[in-house]
C-alpha cells in the first residue's frame, strides 16, 4: 500500500489467483480496481480508504501506473469542469453585466455527480429494455419446446431473424448473434436436433441468469451481462489497471457475423500464462487490425473487460514486437483440463484457445488430434465455414506430432497456428477476401 497527495494504491488478495490492484483518487473522488465488481466504489477501494483515514497507509512515491492513471483522470475531470463552466458563462448577459450580476463561482460544479447521475439513468433504461428482451426470449423458447423441433417454421430463417432483431432492440446483441448462428444449424447435419436443443438450453440459461443479475456474485454477474450483450465503454476499460506482460500472439480466427467481419486474436501472457482475446471489426470495404502478427510477441499493457471474460484492449506497447516465440504446448489431456477450467467460469462460451502438441489422425470418418493421453475431434468442413486448415496441417506435419494453437468450439477444434522451431504458420480461417479491401 501507499499514498501521496493525490492518490492511494494497494493490492488486495481476493478469490482469484492474482491479487486485485486498487487505486483511489482522493482529491477528485474516483477509483479503479482490477476486481470484477460492478459496484461503485468496490469494497476494495472502501477498505483502502478506511485504512488511509486511520493512518495505516504510509506516504510513498506513486508507481508509474498509478501516476499515469491519476494524471489521465485529472485531465478528464478538469476538461469536464471547464465545459460545465463555459456553459454557465454562456447563459449570462454579455452587455451591461456587473460583477454582482454574474453567477457565483465560489463553489465548483459537482461535475462527477452530474456525470454519474446521467450514467445511472441511462444504465437503468438499458437494464429495463434488456430485461424485457430476456423475458420475451424465454417465452419464445417455451413456444419452441412446446411445438417441438419438428416444427416446419424452424426451417425458415425469418423465424430466427425476427427474434434476433427484437433482441438487438433490447440491447442484447450477443444473444441476437447466437440466435442467427443457431438458425444455420437447422438441417445442417444428421444430428442437428441435438445441436439445436443444446443451444436452446444455453440460451435459456443465459436468459434466466440475465434476469437475476442482482442476486449473482459480482464476477458471475459481469460475465452474464457481457454474454447477453451489455456494452462497456472502451474508455472505462482503458481507465482500469493494466495487465502488463510479454504477450504472445498465438492465433488468429476470422468470421463474419451479420455482414460484419470479426477477427479474434488470441494472446497468451509469457509470464502469467493467462489468455486474452483482442477483437477487431470491419464493415464492407474496411480493413481489420493487422498490428498484431501471429508468431510474434510484444510487451504491452492489456486492459481487461469486467468479469472473468478473456476479452481485452491493447494499451501502451513498451517495445517492438519480437519474432520466433510461441506458447508452451500441453498434451491432449492437459489441453482438455485448461479448456475445462475456462468453461467452469463461463459455460456458455463457444470459442476458447489452447496450445497442444498432437498428431493429425483419422477416427472413423473424422479427423482428430491425438496423442497417448487422448484425442480431440476437429470441426468438419461444413461447420468450419472458411475451411479447417487440415490440408496445410497434414502437409507441414507429415502426420507426426506438432505444436498447435487451436480454437475449441462445441463442434470440435479448429487449428489456427502451427508452431515450428523457426517460425509460426497462420492457418486460421479467413472470411471472403472480397469482403475486405486490399488496403
Asked if 14 contacts 35 with a C-beta cutoff of 8 angstroms, the reply is yes
Q: Give the model's confidence band at 87: pLDDT under 50 very low, under 70 low, under 90 confident, else very high.
A: low
Per-residue pLDDT, 239? 84
Q: Which of 45-49, 121-125, 425-429 has the lowest mean pLDDT?
A: 121-125
Per-residue pLDDT, 204? 94
Asked if 89 contacts 32 with a C-beta cutoff of 8 angstroms, the reply is no
Q: Give the model's confidence band at 118: pLDDT under 50 very low, under 70 low, under 90 confident, else very high.
A: very low
Rounded Cα distance between 146 and 166, Å, is 21
Q: Which of 119-128, 193-202, 279-288, 376-385 has the lowest mean pLDDT?
A: 119-128
Number of helices (H) and strands (E) in the chain: give both, helices first: 11, 16
Average pLDDT, the chain: 83
Asked if 11 contacts 69 with a C-beta cutoff of 8 angstroms, the reply is no
Would you state the cell numbers that stand for residue 172, as one nine-digit string? 442484447
Q: Which of 142-151, 217-226, 391-400, 405-414 has the lowest mean pLDDT?
A: 217-226
Residue range 305-324: average pLDDT? 87
**Close Cβ partners of 36 (under 8 Å, ≥ 6 residues apart):** 218, 219, 222, 223, 306, 307, 308
Per-residue pLDDT, 36? 66
Report whether pLDDT(435) > 50: no
Residue range 398-423: average pLDDT? 93
Give me the CATH code for the 240-323 domain, please.
2.40.50
Per-residue pLDDT, 381? 64
Dihedral Cα 91, 94, 95, 96, nearest 10 deg: 80
Map out the domains of the chain as residue ranges.
2-65, 120-228, 240-323, 332-430
Helix (H, G, I), strand (E, B), or coil: what is residue 439?
coil
Report whether pLDDT(417) > 80: yes
186-239 pLDDT, tens digit each: 888 888 999 999 999 999 999 999 988 888 888 888 888 888 888 778 888 888
Report whether pLDDT(35) > 80: no
Across-strand partners of 303?
Answer: 313
Asked if 383 contacts 397 with a C-beta cutoff of 8 angstroms, the reply is no
How many angstroms separate the Cα of 400 from the Cα of each of 371, 403, 421?
Answer: 10, 10, 15
Rounded Cα distance between 317 and 197, Å, is 44
**Close Cβ partners of 313 (under 8 Å, ≥ 6 residues apart):** 234, 237, 238, 278, 302, 303, 305
Per-residue pLDDT, 60? 87
Rounded percentage of the chain residues whose pLDDT exceeds 90? 39
Amino acid at each position: 500500500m501507499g499514498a501521496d497527495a493525490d492518490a492511494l494504491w494497494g493490492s488486495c488478495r481476493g478469490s482469484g489467483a492474482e491479487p486485485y490492484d486498487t487505486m483511489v483518487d482522493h482529491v477528485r473522488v474516483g477509483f479503479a480496481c482490477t476486481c470484477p465488481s460492478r459496484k461503485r466504489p468496490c469494497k476494495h477501494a472502501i477498505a483502502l480508504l478506511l485504512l488511509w483515514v486511520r493512518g495505516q497507509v504510509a506516504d510513498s512515491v506513486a508507481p508509474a501506473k498509478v501516476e499515469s492513471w491519476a494524471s489521465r483522470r485529472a485531465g478528464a475531470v478538469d476538461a469536464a469542469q471547464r465545459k460545465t463552466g463555459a456553459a454557465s458563462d454562456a447563459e449570462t448577459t454579455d452587455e451591461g453585466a456587473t460583477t454582482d450580476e454574474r453567477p457565483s463561482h465560489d463553489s465548483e460544479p459537482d461535475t462527477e455527480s452530474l456525470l454519474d447521475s446521467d450514467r445511472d439513468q441511462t444504465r437503468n433504461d438499458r437494464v429495463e429494455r434488456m430485461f424485457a428482451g430476456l423475458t420475451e426470449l424465454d417465452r419464445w423458447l417455451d413456444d419452441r419446446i412446446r411445438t417441438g423441433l419438428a416444427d416446419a417454421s424452424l426451417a425458415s430463417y425469418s423465424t430466427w431473424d425476427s427474434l434476433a432483431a427484437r433482441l438487438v432492440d433490447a440491447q442484447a446483441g450477443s444473444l441476437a448473434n447466437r440466435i442467427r448462428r443457431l438458425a444455420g444449424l437447422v438441417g445442417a447435419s444428421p444430428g442437428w436436433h441435438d445441436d439445436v436443443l443444446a443451444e436452446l438450453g444455453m440460451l435459456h440459461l443465459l436468459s434466466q441468469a440475465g434476469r437475476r443479475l442482482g442476486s449473482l456474485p459480482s464476477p458471475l454477474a459481469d460475465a452474464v451481462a457481457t454474454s447477453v450483450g451489455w456494452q462497456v465503454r472502451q474508455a472505462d476499460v482503458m481507465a482500469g489497471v493494466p495487465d502488463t506482460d510479454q504477450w504472445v500472439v498465438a492465433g488468429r480466427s476470422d468470421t463474419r457475423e451479420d455482414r460484419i467481419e470479426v477477427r479474434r486474436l488470441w494472446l497468451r501472457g509469457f509470464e502469467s500464462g493467462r489468455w486474452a482475446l483482442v477483437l477487431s471489426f470491419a464493415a464492407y470495404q474496411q480493413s481489420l487490425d493487422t498490428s498484431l502478427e501471429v508468431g510474434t510477441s510484444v510487451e504491452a499493457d492489456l486492459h481487461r473487460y469486467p468479469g472473468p471474460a478473456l476479452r481485452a484492449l491493447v494499451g501502451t506497447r513498451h517495445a517492438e514486437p519480437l519474432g520466433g516465440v510461441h506458447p508452451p504446448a500441453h498434451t491432449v489431456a492437459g489441453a482438455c483440463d485448461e479448456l475445462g477450467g475456462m468453461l467452469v467460469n463461463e459455460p456458455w462460451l463457444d470459442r476458447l484457445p489452447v496450445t497442444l502438441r498432437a498428431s493429425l489422425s483419422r477416427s472413423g470418418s473424422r479427423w482428430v488430434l491425438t496423442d497417448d493421453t487422448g484425442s480431440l475431434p476437429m470441426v468438419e468442413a461444413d461447420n468450419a465455414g472458411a475451411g479447417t486448415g487440415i490440408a496445410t496441417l497434414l502437409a507441414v506435419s507429415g502426420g507426426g506430432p506438432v505444436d498447435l494453437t487451436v480454437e475449441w468450439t462445441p463442434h470440435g477444434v479448429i487449428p489456427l497456428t502451427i508452431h515450428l522451431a523457426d517460425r509460426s504458420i497462420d492457418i486460421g480461417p479467413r472470411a471472403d477476401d472480397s469482403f475486405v479491401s486490399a488496403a
